[in-house]
Amino acid sequence: MQTLTIIQPDDFHVHFRDGDALKSVVPHTARQMGRALVMPNLKPPITTVAQALEYKKQIQAATPANCPFEPLMTLYLTDNTTPQTVREAKAAGIVAFKLYPAGATTNSDSGVTDLFKLLPVLEEMAAQGILFLTHGEVTDPEIDIFDREAVFMERIMRPILAQIPNLKVVFEHITTAEAAQLVCESGDNVAATVTPQHLMYNRNHLLVGGVRPHFYCLPIIKRESHRQALVKAVTGDKAHKFFLGTDTAPHPKHAKENACGCAGVFSAMTAIELYAQIFEKAGALDKLEAFASKNGARFYGLPENPRTLTLVKKPQRVPESVAFGDSVVVPMCAGEEIEWSIAE
């Protein structure tokens, strides 16, 4: 049986929610990952150091005792964030601030309305060496939803990078050839995460045969040429600039399957297995370890995890649903057989 042993991976983009829902999903990530970068878009959002440290305690309390797992904390960038907030965050071990353009995605109501008004805050991030993470979409209603990431790169990020060339930026969950190109063209201070769904699926999966709500996420899945561009990016000459970030985003089944289904794909329970399947199909299984376990750690200035994880080429069937607080969540590839498993 084919096996693959890699340094234990990290997930640099995770939504854990809170309360009983958090207790349900943390173990899935902790079972696979050495570390996870925790997103701050709760209700209310995590905007202060004190809130982040309390949230970290809740995550640690939900982590199984046998999992040496570390949550990495972020703060939610708002119009009211100040350079002093950045200095306090750095001193407390917060690793990044997350940009949610107001109205762009789940729980983004408190997000930024004009990023250019926050240039002093971004300059302080660059000075402190704290990372700037972007949900890279414009929210102009005149811009087609399939074009919002590409427009964000041109209108917002190219000017920001020109004005603050030493700002350390992660373009989160990129979905387009344009975003991958900007990462490849930029200096070593710019990187990106890529999700399993954007590497596996195109918009036909979401729309052909009826709208399929469990494929709906933001940024939305794009056309096939963009999917191919992402696979090329994570396996190509500039692959060191891309790393694992699932954007795993659980929602109760009833909230996804209704007249206004919410955005998010829950991939945490089989994340590394899905990436193995993707890299193997691309003929690049030898590059999985760098993507999953090395590139992100290096970019964040962290040591590689001291443990390893072994995958086996052994099919497993993904459950139709799993517990999520007092409800259930439908995982990515629910009911399907995937090709890899984690060795017990």
CA-to-CA distance for 96 and 296, rounded, in angstroms? 13
Residue 240 marked in a binding site: no
- Strand ranges of the sheet holding 35-38, from the earlier edge strand across to the other edge: 10-14, 35-38, 70-76, 96-99, 131-134, 169-171, 190-194, 242-244
Residue 196 corresponds to which tokens in the numbers above? Answer: 């399993």
Q: Which residues have C-beta within 8 Å of that of residue 12, sequence separation ≥ 6?
A: 36, 37, 170, 193, 243, 244, 245, 296, 300
User: Among 265, 245, 278, which Cα is nearest to 12's?
Assistant: 245
CA-to-CA distance for 47 and 45, rounded, in angstroms? 6
Q: Is 286 annotated as catalytic?
A: no
Counting other chains too, the contacts that 120-124 makes at CB distance below 8 Å and 24 or more residues apart are: 120/83, 121/77, 121/81, 121/82, 121/83, 121/85, 121/86, 121/97, 122/160, 122/164, 122/167, 123/83, 123/164, 123/167, 124/83, 124/86, 124/87
Residue 251 marked in a binding site: yes
The confidence score (pLDDT) of residue 50 equals 98
User: Among 313, 301, 280, 306, which Cα is nearest to 7's?
Assistant: 306
CB-based contact 265:198 (threshold 8 Å): no
CA-to-CA distance for 217 and 262, rounded, in angstroms? 8
Residue 205 marked in a binding site: no
Q: What are phi and psi of 262, to 5 degrees?
A: -80, 160
CB-based contact 134:161 (threshold 8 Å): no
Instruction: Find the mean pLDDT for residues 264-274.
Output: 98
Name which residue leads in pLDDT, 192 or 105: 192
pLDDT band, residue 190 (cuts 50/70/90): very high
The confidence score (pLDDT) of residue 38 equals 98
Residue 173 marked in a binding site: yes
Whether residue 102 has pLDDT greater than 90: no
* Cβ neighbour number for residue 281 with a 10 Å cutoff: 13
Q: In this structure, what CATH number is given to the domain that contains residue 26?
A: 3.20.20.140
Q: Containing domain of residue 155, as a range?
A: 3-342
DSSP H helices in 110-252: 119-128, 148-152, 158-163, 177-185, 196-200, 203-207, 224-235
CA-to-CA distance for 132 and 130, rounded, in angstroms? 7
Instruction: Find the mean pLDDT for residues 78-83.
Output: 96
Whether residue 148 has pLDDT greater than 90: yes
DSSP 291: I
Name which residue leads in pLDDT, 101 or 344: 101
CB-based contact 59:38 (threshold 8 Å): yes
pTM above 0.85, yes or no: yes
Residue 237 marked in a binding site: no
Residue 214 marked in a binding site: no
Residue 16 marked in a binding site: yes
CA-to-CA distance for 9 and 291, rounded, in angstroms? 9
The confidence score (pLDDT) of residue 107 equals 63
Q: What is the enclosing helix (H) or strand (E) of 97?
A: strand 96-99
Residue 17 marked in a binding site: yes
Residue 307 marked in a binding site: no
Instruction: Find the mean pLDDT for residues 137-156.
Output: 95
Instruction: Find the mean pLDDT for residues 208-219.
Output: 94
Residue 99's beta-bridge partner residues? 134
Mean pLDDT of the chain: 96
In percent, how much of the chain has pLDDT > 70?
99
pLDDT band, residue 104 (cuts 50/70/90): confident
User: Among 125, 95, 99, 122, which Cα is nearest to 112's?
Assistant: 99
Cis bond upstream, residue 44 (ω within 30) = yes
The single residue of 144, 147, 247, 286 carrying the catalytic annotation is: 247
pLDDT band, residue 230 (cuts 50/70/90): very high
Domain count, the chain: 1
